[in-house]
Homo-oligomer: A and B are copies of this chain.
């Protein structure tokens, strides 16, 4: 089509180049050369999405000299656009400016469809925008009695003619809206068009009169056992417009997953109750987000969900009973593409498309898949262990050669539940703690107060009854600090006041507790770490460690190169204390990073980029699933991991920070031994 004497055009930053006939518009040239240049109005000079920055002069790098008249003069459309809406200096409308000579044309970031979004929180991986749903402006032919066709058929024909989009479909509820919108827009409308990675025909999910350049939103929703987090995300820029969280109302049916499965087993229709509850909560969350961002519901056209298998089933209306017993069969492990109506969700367009990430196995859910998508263990050159710490721990181990996954039933102790003074991470909760190895005195920080407890202004800031309990990260630090201060022996037994040399160790039945804070005089709580608390943390950390070990066995390794702590809670765990406890295998401290809410990030990536959906569906199939519940070695590792042993310096980096004392508290025996005797007595 092009001749050797035709103008040469070079696009930056892509570097794509080629010759086009003189008079070709920049937008047409970009399309021909496969350059990523946006347009909503399809070249009518009204949306300005195709703005470009032409460059003039000598470009040795590209071997091009650009004359001043290489681009056609500013035309009437551009002048009008500039007059009404303003065009930045040096910018041209790509659909208007015509190429007359050799050109170098820069496509600014905001004019690219597939722009990169830099993740600020944890810059592990940037998101490339390639969302399933986008806005498309079309001019539709008016109806003609002599050639009767439906309004929808003429809209479909316009999409084919003006955008080369073939075979569009629409739900009856969209068709029901179509006629008034077409007439209100005087036969010009903007449609939200959904086309995902599955090869399904493109689908019109919303329609508005006239040209609509935005906004267009999707939701990334991390549906956890305890909390639901939703991010309203701009589908053009990838920016998070608003975030909101809510408690999962299913908590009233059971704190942890298995108690909810039990509820479904014991109560006919119990699963339906839980499904209705969570769907209602999600709809409420969506309404909050729309209100916060001050947008109409019809602008929210997509949602992506990540969740563990039980949440997955209860969201989708599946009875989770099979997940409560071996062989833990999922109803479906594939990703799901649904309509908002299928999930009875409100607050977004009723035709919004829902994407649920695939599950990896009966115990390893779409949340783990989302972590894999966010943290990409399969693209890691070194061997990385990714641990998503929550009520259940999802564990991934891998590198470019192979990725393994399992889930480990840590229970809710890490979240502060089943701990005598435990509470959720909320103002008043002890989140950080240090114990002086000499004086055995603690100092701590509570959520909501800047100062440590021994710093000036703490009492004033906190008030006498402000200290309410210990949250998950606090209890982990407390146990680790107690061990480092010699208050615990390697078996996890708390020493007595005499053995430890501190009155903070007090008898509590046949065992001891360590008092962190006594607020009883002011009417507040007595916050202590009991022997039972230590045991709960030991069980949880053993389960987590055993899961990681099992994967390491499968890979035949006894160490990993680095550890990523994921999960909203993982972001708050101190790597040092986690390693002291033996929650995670020993690695140099600087090789332990936090990925924040990696599952939520994975959801956002899948929302913004359909290629990522295809990628995670492929990845999930390739992951080696390890089932902890049936693996005899899991029990071995679990038992072996129970202690918090003396460290013999395997890692100098770690030993520089901490050496655990080799104490031993000789009592009448271990706690469990004691219990056994009691029962016999």
Contacts and interface: CB of A to CB of B under 8 A. Distances in A.
A329 B362 contact: no
Contacts of A329: 143, 150-151, 179
A627 B327 contact: no
Interface string A11-30: 00000000000000000000
A343 B176 CA distance: 12
Given A172-B317, A176-B316, A317-B173, A146 B627 contact: yes
A332 interface: yes
Number of copies: 2
B150 A336 contact: no
Contact of A148 (B317, B330, B336): B330
A657 interface: no
Contacts of A336: 172
Contact of A175 (B148, B153, B178, B332): B332
Contacts of A361: 148
A142 to B, nearest CB: 8
A438 interface: no
Interface residues of A, number: 48
A327 B176 contact: no
A42 to B, nearest CB: 23
A460 interface: no
A260 B312 CA distance: 46
A364 B171 CA distance: 23
A361 B630 CA distance: 65
Interface string A314-330: 00111101100011111
A512 B359 CA distance: 83
A151 B332 contact: yes
A461 interface: no
A148 B328 contact: yes
Contact of A152 (B151, B175, B332): B332
Interface string A322-361: 1000111111111010100011000000000000000111
A140 to B, nearest CB: 11
Interface string A168-212: 000111011011100000000000000000000000000000000
Contacts of A316: 172, 175-176
Residue with the greatest number of chain B CB neighbours at <10 A, chosen from A143, A326, A336, A360:
A143
A150 B317 contact: no
A318 B145 contact: no
A625 interface: yes
A667 interface: no
A144 interface: yes
A506 interface: no
A354 B306 CA distance: 32
A629 interface: yes
Given A143-B329, A146-B630, A172-B316, 6 more contacts: A145-B629, A150-B333, A151-B322, A172-B342, A175-B332, A176-B319
21 contacts: A143-B327, A144-B327, A145-B327, A145-B328, A148-B327, A148-B328, A148-B330, A148-B361, A148-B625, A148-B627, A150-B330, A150-B334, A151-B332, A152-B331, A153-B333, A172-B343, A179-B318, A179-B319, A179-B322, A179-B329, A180-B319
Top 9 A-B residue pairs of the complex, sorted by shortest distance between their CB atoms: A148-B361, A143-B329, A150-B333, A150-B332, A152-B332, A150-B330, A145-B327, A143-B327, A145-B627
